[in-house]
Every structure is written in structure tokens, then in C-alpha cells.
Amino acid sequence: AQSVAQPEDQVNVAEGNPLTVKCTYSVSGNPYLFWYVQYPNRGLQFLLKYITGDNLVKGSYGFEAEFNKSQTSFHLKKPSALVSDSALYFCAVRENTGFQKLVFGTGTRLLVSP
């Protein structure tokens, strides 16, 4: 069965520093990977996805993610964090059998301090 793991419940970073939110995946076959962000009392917003092609995927709000097949990882990155990036981040992978639902990780809370 497909799954993703987000090993950190919370990541703390100072404004202006680079940030990384980690995600590892387990799939049979080709992975289709997604990152979402959730601000308080809001729905999830799409940030970026990896389907095929370049291992470095660029997304919204200056975020990017690096797909690493050998390490089965899809870490979310940003070169310079903003206080407004503080939110809950979810990694997800599409099932490639059956209904092909998205399987979400448990989420990582990012706190960017001024």
C-alpha cells in the first residue's frame, strides 16, 4: 500500500533562513507526490506536485521540492523563510491502484520566528 511519512511534527526556523520540511514515501511503481499547505481555519492549498521529469519541482509562494528516488524522499524547501510561511504542511502520494485516492501524511507544523 502507498504511504507517506512526515517524521517531524514541528519545524522551527528563523525568518530569512532556509527551511526544509521532510517527507518520505513508499509506493509500488511510479510515485505521484504532492505538497499542500493549510493556514488556520482554512482548507488545504496546493503547493506543488511531482509527476515525472525534473527532480526539482517549483511551486507556489517560492517553495520547491526535491524528488529523490534512491532515498524515496520528497522534501519541501524554501531558500528564505517568511513569518507568513508559518502553517501546517501536508505531503501526499496518489494510490496507483483501485480508486487512486491521495494518501496524506500526518502533517508538519512550520513555525517561522521573526
For residues 76 and 66, is the Cβ–Cβ distance under 8 A? no
105/34 Cα distance (integer angstroms):
10
- Report the amino acid identity of residue 64: E
Taking the CA atoms of 85, 86, 87 and 89 in sequence, report the sign of the dihedral they define: positive
Nearer Cβ to other proteins (2/13)? 2
**Beta partners for 26?**
3
Residue span binding other proteins (CB under 8 A) among the ranges 17-25, 44-52, 58-66, 77-85: 44-52
Contact residue for other proteins among 36, 67, 74, 89 (CB under 8 A) = 36
Nearer Cβ to other proteins (107/112)? 107
Contact residue for other proteins among 13, 19, 21, 32 (CB under 8 A) = 32
- C-alpha cell, 55: 527532480
Q: Is 22 in the site for other proteins (CB under 8 A)?
A: no
- C-alpha cell, 111: 513555525
Binding site for other proteins (CB under 8 A): 32, 34, 36, 41-46, 49, 51, 90, 92, 94-96, 99-102, 104-107, 109
